Amino acid sequence: MLYSFIRSLIRLSLSVFFKKFNVIGQENIPTSGPVIFVANHPSAVMDPLIVGVALKKKIHFLAGAEWMGEGRKAKFYRKNFNMIPVHRPWLAEGKKVDNRDMFEGSYENLSNDDWILIFPEATTKTISKIRELKTGAIRIKEGFEKLKNHEVNVPIIPVGINYSNPHRFQSNVIVNIGKEVKFEDDYEGLNSKEQARVKTNKIQTALENSII
């Protein structure tokens, strides 16, 4: 309930902030089943708001655990804003990182045919290129499909967020939703880590093609 209310307010606010807000490629979104969306991350706070409004169905976000905090604060974000905390090893300052809760939370959402949004660059930077992606999206997809005995396919859909200037009032934004990334190559001879990297490179190419 709160999510829908806040989403409506955000939609109104964005319609005022941006001079033009266009969404293209809606026909590439599957009509049923779970979906993993991957998007570039040029503007920290604005990006999830933009995609959350552009996609008509409620989505679940992977968000930095250190940003979400712990205890009641983290529970509030999870419950009301559909955020799934992910621990980023390079910010752990030598501490051991355990992301089992992130995978389990993602699997639970996918089991409910929910949509998940991931920013696989993992950090935000206002540049007009795609930085090297982390492998989380393909690991979530394949981990869930294995859990379901490969009886379900979870499509990965690239979303390009294209700003004329994300920090300027009355600028323009185009959200370009690409086609499902296909993984039909022969990966024989590669271990699981190598396969994840090669497949993530395919996701990166698809995301690069969604940037205008």
What is the Cα–Cα distance from 165 to 155, expressed in whole angstroms? 30
Are 172 and 18 in contact, with CB atoms under 8 Å apart?
A: yes
Q: 184 falls in which pLDDT band (50, 70, 90)?
A: confident
Residue 13 confidence (pLDDT) above 90? yes
**Mean of the per-residue pLDDT values for the chain?**
92
Are 120 and 181 in contact, with CB atoms under 8 Å apart?
A: no
Average pLDDT (122-128) is 89
- Return the pLDDT at 186: 84
Q: Name the least confident of 75-84, 85-94, 174-183.
A: 85-94
What is the Cα–Cα distance from 58 to 112, expressed in whole angstroms? 12
Are 61 and 117 in contact, with CB atoms under 8 Å apart?
A: yes
Residue 203 confidence (pLDDT) above 80? yes
Residue 175 confidence (pLDDT) above 90? yes
Q: What is the pTM of this model?
A: 0.93
